[in-house]
């Protein structure tokens, strides 16, 4: 039986400080376990965080306080990075290049000025981003996934005040991305974002139980919510769109992608979808139904449970 919105929100809140296991692609073809088995360290400065994240040993890194800077932090494989209550990266972003098995949980990353809030590229795989808050990128986007990266889940996170939110796939010429870029987005809150929530090229995406909202004070361009391009397949399921004046869901680019499940979503005060290709027949094969809630319950559950605590 699908979980109620109240139960899902309560579970999200109580597990925000624990690690748990991902749902979706981050749990396929192996499991994303992060720094499990490694030592636990607490960091409170940019230098300490760079040293811990750049270690080649498995490690659980607890981030304390507000860390400022204007550079990217390289994260090596087998890491769990957890933000303690009230912690924040203000300026620095996380870089994951050709690495694997990383969990980022309960982190607030704002004003990223030298990289995206999180950059995932160069065949990086098995990444789980959970209960994080991303706001106001200065450099470019919030969470970008490119260059044959794979098996990624982004869950219960809040994205706000961004023009370019979450790009998956580097561009129309990145044909080596075919067969990669498998991503799951679930129970995320996209507030006042213009586009790319996500935009997916070549790969395969499952986007379920996310809440997309433009407030009355927001002045968007045309934009869009979810976009499929370059033959990508996206299954959208039980999402809720409110006030999206551009297309909530679109197929775009010189070679469009494919969308399925658009009829399961709720659209309130939105423009029409712009889907110009036949419906995608792809469906996820992993277990997730126990966490799937009705689209009508998404706004209350996601607003209560998404983001860092």
Query: Hey, which residues are catalytic here?
Result: 196
Q: How many CB atoms lie within 10 A of CB 230?
A: 22
User: How are the residues of the chain apportioned to helix, strand and coil, as percentages rounded to the nearest 5?
Assistant: 15, 40, 50
Tracing tokens 């990444």 back to the chain, one arrives at: 127
Contact 88, 111 (CB under 8 A): no
Q: Name the β-bridge partners of 39.
A: 59
Backbone phi, psi, residue 272, to 5°? -80, 155
Q: How many CB atoms lie within 10 A of CB 222?
A: 11
| Kind plus residue range of the DSSP H or E element containing 62 | strand 59-63
Beta strand 182-186 with 247-251: parallel, antiparallel or unpaired? Answer: unpaired
Q: How far is Cα 118 from Cα 241, in angstroms, rounded to an integer?
A: 25
C-alpha angle 51/55/61, rounded to 5°?
70
Q: How far is Cα 117 from Cα 131, in angstroms, rounded to an integer?
A: 14
- Lookup: tokens for 199: 């935009």
Q: 3-state DSSP call for residue 223? A: coil
Letter string b/e over residues 176-200, b meaning 16 or more CB atoms within 10 A of that residue's CB = ebeebbbbbbbbbbbbbbbbbbbbb
- Lookup: tokens for 235: 């299954």
Return the biggest CA–CA distance within the chain.
51
- Lookup: tokens for 219: 């002045």
Q: 3-state DSSP call for residue 165? A: coil
């Amino acid at each position: 039986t699908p979980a109620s919105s109240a139960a899902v929100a309560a579970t999200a809140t109580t597990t925000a400080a624990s690690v748990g296991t991902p749902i979706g692609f981050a749990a396929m073809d192996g499991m994303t376990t992060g720094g499990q088995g490694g030592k636990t360290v607490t960091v409170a400065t940019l230098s300490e965080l760079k040293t811990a994240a750049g270690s080649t040993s498995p490690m659980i890194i607890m981030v304390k306080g507000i860390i400022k800077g204007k550079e990217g932090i390289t994260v090596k494989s087998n890491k769990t990075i957890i933000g303690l209550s009230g912690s924040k990266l203000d300026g620095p972003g996380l870089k994951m290049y050709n690495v694997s098995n990383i969990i980022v949980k309960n982190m607030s990353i704002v004003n990223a000025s030298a990289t995206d809030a999180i950059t995932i590229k160069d065949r990086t795989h098995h990444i789980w981003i959970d209960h994080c808050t991303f706001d106001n990128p200065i450099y470019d986007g919030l969470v970008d996934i490119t260059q044959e990266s794979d098996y990624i889940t982004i869950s219960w996170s809040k994205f706000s005040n961004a023009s370019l939110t979450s790009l998956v796939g580097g561009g129309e010429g990145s044909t080596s991305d075919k067969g990669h870029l498998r991503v799951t987005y679930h129970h995320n809150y996209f507030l006042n974002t213009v586009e790319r929530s996500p935009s997916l090229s070549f790969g395969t995406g499952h986007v379920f139980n996310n809440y997309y909202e433009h407030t009355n004070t927001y002045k968007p361009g045309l934009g869009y919510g979810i976009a499929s391009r370059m033959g990508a397949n996206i299954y959208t399921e039980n999402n809720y769109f409110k006030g999206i004046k551009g297309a909530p869901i679109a197929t775009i680019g010189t070679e469009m992608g494919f969308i399925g499940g658009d009829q399961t979503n709720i659209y309130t005060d939105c423009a029409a979808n712009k889907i110009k290709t036949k419906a995608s027949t792809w469906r996820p094969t992993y277990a997730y139904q126990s966490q799937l809630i009705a689209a009508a319950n998404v706004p209350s559950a996601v607003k209560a449970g998404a983001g860092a605590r």
